[in-house]
Amino acid sequence: MSAPRVAGAGPVPVELLPGPPADWHPGPGEPRRPAAPAPGMAPRWAYLVQRLVRPNWLNRRAGALVERWPAARRLFTRAERASKEGLFGCRMCGQCALPVTGYSCPMGCPKELRNGPCGGVGAGGACEVYPDRRCVWVAGYERAAGMGRAGDLRRLQRPVDHRRFGESSWLNYWAGRDDHLWTADDGLASPPAMGQVP
Amino acid sequence: MSEPAGPARPASLRERLASGAFTVTSELSPVRGASADALRERARLLAGWVDGVNLTDNQGAHVRMASWASALAAREAGLEPIMQMTCRDRNRIALQSDLLGAASVGLTNLVFMTGDYPKFGDHPGAKPVFDLDSVTMLWTARTMRDEGRLLSGNELKPPPSALFLGAVENPFAPPQEFRAARAAKKVAAGAQFLQTQYVFDIPVFERWVSALRAEGLTERCSILAGVGVIRSVRALDFMASGKVPGVVIPDAVQRRLRAVPADQAGEEGHRLAAEVIARVKEVPGVAGVHLLTAGYEKRVPELLDLAGVSHGRGPRPAITHARKSTNAH
């Protein structure tokens, strides 16, 4: 191991590790991508939208209606992808965690961590794997804490169901197919059930 | 702790932590090769001095002998093995399967972590898995033990009922305000002991532990503070370069090690590590230390002596007599 040079004492620099070229893009079927860019929607608005997309009577009915026609479902899914990809770097996991992550997409983490940041976050909050990007969980924590929602991040997230990739998470949400995604609280009072992940 | 009559048996890691006695675990890196002889040799230097050794799982994403095989070798050398499992290289099927295999041969001390990204290892083009993360893996292991079921819900006959579950945390990485909460998630998921990243910044560490204490979590989960020895200016340069994931060396530490002549930096690093051990020992809620001193096995006894925590520890006679040793605690 050759030791890189560090000039004297002082703040530990977050040096740029050899990352992917700027125009790097995954090939077809490539499961990993560089860490997501910063979320493009201010937390205030994101939490407002959260209230609009709740599984209320209207949304549940609309969802059920859309699901009746494959073409409508495809169109709806495409619209969801278009809006969320631009705003949150959405990866279309089909089981959206944004409501409890300060609207910073955890699937943008190179390790796809849904339970908080790894131990390798750089001193300045840089992603360990792509140091030119900010850690999605540092951003998520700041956004959630700023809105008094830091407690959301303490919920335990269950493992991702890889069959749902590419599906509309709103339709899954309204149909109640992702009710089990995370625990109701921090799980400390009584051991939370993992539940069956078939 | 009450010991049965007759030759005293060294307390197991779980028993020692339960007794409240100051506990020392250490990291032991598996070898790159098809023989565990070198590992056994290093392990023997630690026998009697530490209460458990972590066998790392392809540390830093570098291929090494499997942690289960290395754990068996460490056990032969008279140490209590703690097998590390990362989520980097195996999906939920392989992780559960390996856990059952480990439990079947009595490797029941497990530490789970997400794992370093392959990019940092010797096979940077490897496909990363990360199907589960450290929290869901802990949760899965607890479910297997306590509910006797796999993630699928399928029943285990018999379940791995003796598992002792560990986790890791880095109190120093951003967002620091969330680090105690992240440790709390691991406790909720099933962690019974927790080993930290290198502690050099004592005030930040103290704040982190006191946040856990405030929630009563140090009673539910034993905290072992990570302690490393900076052995040279070159090592300091490397650790402070930001190229070691999650390691932060405070300015004061850097100044102290650079203030002495370069050939004495290693001794200063040794003294610093002993001071860190002595200081974290006084932090309420700390159960012990976890030595991140791979390759430093020879000087571990000296280090523990200097730190004032070597009482009752000492070399243990050969493997066959390991169980008869009376000086394990």
pLDDT, tens only, B181-221: 999 999 999 999 999 999 999 999 999 999 999 999 999 99
For position A198, what pLDDT does the model report? 53
Mutation target for B interface from A1, A2, A5, A12: give the one with most B CBs within 10 A: A12
pLDDT at residue A22 is higher than 50: no
- Residue, of A123 and B162, whose pLDDT is higher: B162
Give the helix, strand, coil percentages of chain B, each rounded to 5: 45, 15, 40
pLDDT band at A20 (very low <50, low <70, confident <90, very high): very low
- Tell if the CB–CB gap between A9 and B258 is shorter than 8 Å: yes
Across the interface, whether the CB atoms of B188 and A191 are under 8 A apart is answered: yes
Interface of A with B in 7-26 (CB under 8 A): 8-15, 17
CA atoms of B26 and B17, how far apart (whole Å)? 15
Structure tokens at A42: 């201010």
Bridge partners of B226? B198, B290
**Would the CB atoms of A128 and B117 count as touching at under 8 Å?**
yes
> If you write DSSP's letter for every residue of B204-221 in order, what string do you get?
HHHHHHHHHHHTTHHHHS
Partner residue facing B237 (CB), from A6, A112, A125: A6
Confidence band of A13 (pLDDT split at 50, 70, 90): very low
Residue B113 has what DSSP assignment? Answer: E
pLDDT at residue number B210: 98
With cut-offs at 50, 70 and 90, classify the pLDDT of residue A28. very low
Chain B hits for A141, Cβ within 8 Å? 175, 177-178
Q: Which amino acid is it at A97? A: A
Residue B273: phi and psi, rounded to 5, are: -60, -40
Tell me the average pLDDT of chain A.
83
Contact: A125, B175; criterion CB under 8 Å: yes
Place of tokens 């909460």: B181
Q: Which regions in chain B score pLDDT beneath 50? A: 1-6, 320-329
Q: Is A13 exposed, middle or buried (0-12, 13-18, 19+ CB in 10 A)?
A: middle
Nearest-Cα distance to chain B for A195, in Å, is: 8
Q: What is the pLDDT of residue A17?
A: 33
Contacts of B115 (CB under 8 A, 6+ apart): A111, B57, B61, B86, B87, B88, B89, B130
Residues of chain A numbered 132-151 and touching chain B (CB < 8 Å)? 135, 137-138, 141-142, 145, 150
* 8 Å CB contact of B135 and A157: yes
Is the model more confident about A8 or about B141? B141
pLDDT at A145 over 50: yes
Q: Is the pLDDT of residue A138 over 80?
A: yes
Interface residue A152 vs chain B (CB under 8 A) = no
Close Cβ partners of B63 (under 8 Å, ≥ 6 residues apart): B32, B121, B122, B123
Q: Residue A142: pLDDT above 50?
A: yes
Q: What Cα–Cα distance (Å) separates residue A75 from each residue in A70, A160, A173, B71, B209? A: 9, 24, 17, 54, 51
Q: What is the pLDDT of residue A139?
A: 95
In chain B, % of residues over pLDDT 90: 88
Residue B27, H or E segment: strand B23-28
The one-letter amino acid code at B292 reads L
- Of A35, A49, A47, A162, nearest to A106 by C-alpha is A35
Separation between Cα atoms, residue A1 and residue B300, nearest integer Å: 23
Give chain A positions within 8 Å (CB) of B197. Answer: 119
Q: Mark yes or no for CB contact A156/B142 under 8 Å.
A: no
pLDDT, residue A34, reads 52
Q: What pLDDT digit, counting tens, does each position of B151-163 carry?
A: 999 999 999 999 9
SS (H, E, C) chain A: CCCCCCCCCCCCCCCCCCCCCCCCCCCCCCCCCCCCCCCCCCHHHHHHHHHHCCCCHHHHHHHHHHHHCHHHHHHHHHHHHHHHHHHHCCCCCCCCCHHHCCCCCHHHCCCCCCCCCCCCCCCCCECCCCCCCECHHHHHHHHHHHCCCHHHHHCCECCCCHHHCCCCHHHHHHCCCCCCCECCCCCCCCCCCCCCCC
Q: Are A138 and B175 in contact (CB under 8 A)?
A: yes
Alpha carbons B212 and B223: distance in angstroms, whole number: 10
Chain A residues inside the 8 Å CB shell of B135: 115-116, 156-157
Q: What pLDDT does A46 receive?
A: 92
Give pLDDT tens digits for A97-118.
Answer: 999 999 999 999 999 999 999 9
Kindly tell me if the per-residue pLDDT of A6 is higher than 90. Answer: no
Largest CA distance in chain A: 66
Q: Is A194 within 8 Å of B139 when comparing Cβ atoms?
A: yes
Residue in chain A closest to B60 (alpha carbons) equals A120
Query: What does the alpha-carbon distance between residue B51 and residue B49 come to, in Å, rounded to a whole number?
Result: 7
pLDDT of residue A197: 60
Q: Give the number of beta-carbon pairs within 8 Å between A and B.
A: 169
> With contact defined as beta carbons under 8 Å apart, do B186 and B169 qualify?
yes
Task: Give the closest residue to B286 by CA, choosing from B202, B228, B174, B230.
Answer: B202
What pLDDT was estimated at residue B318?
52
- Whole-model pTM: value is 0.89
CB atoms closer than 10 angstroms to residue A103: 26
pLDDT at A160 over 90: yes
* Cα B46 to Cα B55: distance, rounded to the nearest angstrom: 13
**Distance (Å, whole) CA B136 – CA A13:** 32
Closest Cβ opposite residue A198 in set B132, B134, B152: B152
Query: A43-80, pLDDT tens digit by residue?
Result: 999 999 899 999 999 999 999 999 999 999 999 999 99
What pLDDT shows up at residue B245? 76
Task: State CA B299 to chain mean position distance.
Answer: 18
Element (H, E) at B32: none
* CB-CB under 8 Å, A13 with B136: no
Instruction: Please answer yes or no on whether A154 and B185 come within 8 Å at the CB atom.
Output: yes
Residue numbers in B near A163 (CB within 8 A)? none
